[in-house]
Structure 1
């Protein structure tokens, strides 16, 4: 159970695919201090008796209004501190301290004892703090350094200048996702990798076990149910720290776009015949594969009507004010006739992916590569470990149908990208997940990729159409930056288009967008329909991705405003988006 009050911000369970009952949400008021000189360690900030000078509301970043700080300037480092006590019944076992995400390099102490470090601003991490805790009150101290101008960290769409500009926005420093404690047994289930196999009416699981389970005659049982009815059970003997399980299913219900048929999954670890650990999860049965120019889901060609979602919020910046806000973004997208999204330049939190799974919404996983120098192999050492962490965390989500580690890998100070960085990342991604397609870098410059995608912000539907017309009859395939990338027969995808500038309520000097602005709402709709029809009618296009779902600060090419109000009649946009595509079965 969650022992905190319902007034705690973001009180919901942060990891919906791996649920245990014994947990404590640590969101809320923490001590806080900005450390511009990164001298806090020398000044004893990590010591339990040192009080920080301010306060902040976690999990909101100090740049945000919801944090209570709202400091928009660069912060070289920040400190957090709070007390906690454990429930009396948390006896035996291990105490795990979890962080949803902290930007960027993090060090953590409990009662002045260093318990771990982490590098990366987007992936989740945890530390076993059992040896550092004491009876009664305990103190957690968190230190985070953040330097997005260094070229040594992925920043995504966080602005590298003092003010937001163009398509870069307010920065995020420090903690920006839920912090929580979990009580686990000495022998416990630590992770799961699940692959759906609807054609053979089963799922394949690889489970990792923490503690000395193998030496104690341990077994694992797995039970799947659908709408409350048990449809599969299996029990296996544990012979090491990992075990592979095939769970047959008596009923096959496919997870489909807009129809998320999910199974409940219960996993139980037994030690000497007694329950040692129990975890609740869920899964969806679906397959994805490329077939010529088609993208097939459960064997059916599904046109991907995607929209760009950047995961920004006016008051929370990177952090949604509530779980309902995460769900609402998906619902407004589906209300416009989109069936999925590119999660752009950001690893989204697990709760967003949970709602995508629940609502039958397609998503592409992406990392926040902008700001990272990949002109040398050093960029790989900064990028790949966090990308692997993100893939491991999100692998089991049925709504996630593809990976795109990089976006628009532009040259830096005249130096070209190191192609080996993209090639190695692609190869590692494919080895970790052979079940999903991988785009090495969206837009440019492709090195090795399962899908050839480009970005095209032409605002004229006629010239937009002419560019791709020869492809229909086997003619030349349009390639941007043809001196840097080569089309090799892959499925083809316009993964960014449109971006139509429309801002009647916002002053021009505060606005940014692509191309010329329409003069009226009717002109906007005409242009939107013209551009979208080109892609729907093209037999070699398996999808599109429109820029974007909502405005973000000064970028005003959203179909909704930044505070999630529709700019147009949603039914009008929906009617355009949902027309049958040429490539669909």
Structure 2
């Protein structure tokens, strides 16, 4: 039990708990005689005290398939820990009380602990006017149970389900006993990160880092409703903007001989109707459609009726839809970009984890669920990335209503490769997520993998992306967000998106072929806020001392997004994140949503500027001066001295000092310099390359080792990191021309003891780095962001990273040339063959 932050229950003082200065105890909901009591958590939201036994998420939970008659089964249930293989406790009162639908680890549940297995029990009565058994059937619905579930009515098993993020139903009519009280029991098992199941950021024990407290058991609304024997069981809607129609498929149970009639309305005005067979795609005309967009999130009302041969109504459901088209288009700069309704629109998104200090996976109220999205809109964002979690339907309903484009992640399994036995389950849940959410207007992209978490094979990732695209060709597919990061197996080349992560960023990948590029995660600036931190402390990618500094850092970082969009062609950026979460303190708001951490007027101003300017219009890229002609360069170190501690520059007299005992030795062409990989290097004493323009660096090098350590051949010191690195990349065990976080890599590992000729080229016009090995192009990398001018010395044989000297060369270097321009391929080949 923690004693910092805000207190969730009355009675805290009587229990000897301390309330920190500036915090207030939330008034507890009365238990209503149920025996349920809210638990204690470090933080309370402003909605915590509004939750009680009689109002636990009372809203109809399925806004795209509504019915007039229904009964909410949320509220206080009996609860008990379950043992493996235990008999169903039918007819037995369970010893604890839990508030459904809050996961059992949450304070709002009243249990506030993890159990691998659990029992839920309650009774219910079917209203007599529902006429169940007299042409009506009773449907029982579960929004989500994490993870395996079995459902029993009056001791009869009526459903079993695996998967923590999708809903399931059961027709329980035949299990009812008379018209009186009925017994409902749910068994659930959730082993979380002990298995290969999809879990997102859940862990049984928070790591005080980027993973959080798990959420087990029932965590979305449970409800029941009467439906006719012949009934509409599902609706699939897809807008066809170009064709001025809505594609509609109604799934119907026992629909033989019946017809589906659909009516679309704009307020009270009928805009289109269609009649056709159940289970077939119908085209509902929507002439001159009002298009949905973040600036005008217009939605049509939809009524679908099932009728018999005499046109008598058998069943009726309500729904809604928006008319919009997501795709790609080339800007005036020739780069492929994301387009909404045929017009380029930059997707400016916030990262949204979907965790709450009182309800964990479940927002305390519908108003709370809506609040996060309202803040996104108020801050000038037009999109949100739902990060490796799937929300209740009402979250997407509010995104539809408010006008936010949603990038929807598939919840990851653990960070390592998914065990083979679980891979089919992962894919099944992925496709079920797409199926269940395919009619929400706000969703514009599917993201199967994040940073390689769970990936087991690059080809398999590409196939999965293709499978999702085949299932839903109307949206973008981002095969792997953060393909440059962490556990990624590399770019499969599939999907519609090239997605890089970079903290603090922004990331700046370039569009490739028929794929747009985005910055999938960046930012992460943090601020500590007393009495509003889950663990009483925490961290971020960079901590700031106060709100003013945090705001300034955000604005500067977002200004760089504009540069990345104009120079590199990114179509979206996703900032981390809407709120703090547990130990992560990088939110616009504290985890309890009580404190605003930035000046939101400045936030909104820069956000609106990004959307307005990142439109693919032509940006004048400064053209570099032609530079010094010839292959000698602006500086040339032959390194042919027989002895001494100075290497002569035969062009401009910028001699280099040998540091740490580096020595001249026989090398590729006469002599060179031998370096020990620990302390030795050559220091030119000044910056010799203008890094704000084009440049090239060339050298002969022989490695004495080629392992997992980095080794630098030529670099130039920057304020914190080297401006560039002509290097051996230990992470890849290949030669590279690099910026920090960006590498143009050779295809194979070099041999120890063999001489190689390396040339690294910075091309500002093409926005790339190029590496040549032995006269041939070996690798390229997008490096489209402009660099600042030089600040530190050009050095041979070491690099700089995080403010420290690093990556000393273990080998011999010879014939070092520096150029004030981007060398061409023919020149590089000529330089190589000349042996100079």
State the TM-score, normalized to the length of structure 1. 0.88
2:316 aligned residue (278, 282, 298)? 278
| Alignment partner, residue 16 of structure 1 | 63
Output the CA distance in 2 between the equivalents of 1:332 and 1:110: 42
Aligned partners of 2:162, 2:474: CA distance in 1, in Å?
28
Hey, what's the Cα distance between the residues in 1 that align with 2:410 and 2:587? Answer: 21
Give the corresponding residue for 1:228: 268
Write the distance in 2 (CA, Å) between the matches of 1:304 and 1:531: 16
- Relative to structure 1, is the Cα distance of residues 243 and 529 closer, same or farther in structure 2, using a 3 angstrom cutoff? same
Are the aligned partners of 2:300 and 2:320 in contact in 1 as well (CA < 8 Å)?
A: yes
Matched, 1:544 2:576: no
Aligned residue number for residue 187 of structure 2? 143
Indicate the residue corresponding to 1:575 in structure 2.
605
CA distance in 1, matches of 2:534, 2:286: 58
Q: CA deviation at 1:541?
A: 1.3
Give the structure 2 partner of residue 400 of structure 1: 443
Specify which of 495, 501, 505 is matched with residue 520 of structure 2: 495
1:84 corresponds, among 120, 124, 130, to 124
Q: C-alpha offsets along residues 64-112 of structure 1, whole Å, 9 cap, x if unaligned?
A: 11111122xx421111011011111222222111111110011111111
Q: Measure the CA separation in 2 of the matches of 1:93 and 1:420.
A: 49
Choose which of 287, 298, 309 in structure 1 pairs with 2:325. 287
Give me the whole-angstrom Cα distance separating, in 1, the residues matched to 2:616 and 2:177: 61
Q: Which moved more, 1:221-230 or 1:190-199?
A: 190-199
2:558 is the alignment partner of 1:516: no
Counterparts of 1:440 and 1:119 in 2: how far apart (Å)?
Answer: 24
Match of 1:38 among 84, 97, 105: 84
Give the whole-Å Cα distance in 2 for the aligned partners of 1:434 and 1:19: 27
SS class of match (2:130)? coil
Mapped partners of 1:417, 1:295: distance in 2: 29
Structure 1 residue 122, shift from structure 2 partner? 0.9
Contact 2:78–2:96 (Cα < 8 Å) also in 1: yes
**Structure 2 counterpart of 1:93:** 136
Using CA pairs under 8 Å that are at least 6 residues apart, name the structure with larger relative contact order, 1 or 2.
Answer: 1
Deviation at 1:492, TM superposition (A): 1.1
8 Å contact 2:528–2:538 — kept in the other structure?
A: no
Look up the SS of the partner of 1:205 in the other structure: strand
Equivalent pair of 2:469/2:495 in contact (CA under 8 Å): no
Distance 1:78 1:286, change over 3 A: same
**What is the CA distance between 1:570 and its match in structure 2?**
1.2
Q: Which has the larger radius of gyration?
A: 2
Cα shift at 1:373: 5.4
Where in structure 1 are there 5+ consecutive unaligned residues?
Answer: 472-476, 479-486
Aligned CA distance change for structure 1 residues 365 and 166 (closer, same or farther; 3 Å): same
Structure 1 residues 207-251: Cα deviation after superposition (integer angstroms, max 9, x where no partner): 21111x22xx31221111102211111222x3xx51221111244
Q: Secondary structure at the match of 2:377?
A: helix
Aligned to 1:456: 502
Q: Answer whether contact 1:155 1:372 (CA < 8 A) is retained.
A: no
The 5-angstrom pairing of residues 54-93 of structure 1 reads: 54-71=96-113, 74-91=114-131, 92-93=135-136
Q: Is the 8 A contact 1:224 1:232 kept in 2?
A: yes
Q: How many residues align?
A: 542
- The answer to whether the 8 A contact 2:534-2:582 is kept is no
Q: Deviations over 1:187-219 (max 9, x none)?
A: 1111121111122221111221111x22xx312
CA 1:163–1:284 in structure 2 vs 1: closer, same or farther (change >3 Å)? closer
TM-score normalised to structure 2 length: 0.62
RMSD, matched Cα = 2.2
Q: Deviations over 1:358-417 (max 9, x none)?
A: 111111111211427545543321212222222111111111111012212247xxxx72
1:297-336 matches, within 5 Å, as 297-336=340-379
Determine the C-alpha separation between the residues in 2 that align with 1:425 and 1:106: 27
Gapped runs of 5+ residues in structure 2?
Answer: 1-51, 331-335, 618-836
| CA displacement, residues 408-442 of structure 1 (integer Å, 9 cap, x when unaligned) | 2247xxxx722344233212211110000101121
CA 1:182–1:424 in structure 2 vs 1: closer, same or farther (change >3 Å)? Answer: farther
Matching residue of 1:526: 552
1:176 aligned partner: 219
**Higher helix content, 1 or 2:** 1
Counterpart position of 1:483: none
Deviates further, 24-33 or 370-379:
370-379
CA distance in 2, matches of 1:355, 1:490: 29
Q: Displacement of 1:523 after TM fit?
A: 2.6
How many Å separate the matches in 1 of 2:387 and 2:542? 24
Q: Secondary structure at the match of 1:528?
A: helix
Residues 548-582 of structure 1: per-residue CA shift (max 9 Å, x gap): 00101111000111121311221111111110233
The DSSP-based 3-state class of the residue aligned with 1:230 is: strand
Q: Distance in 2 between matches of 1:313 and 1:99?
A: 21
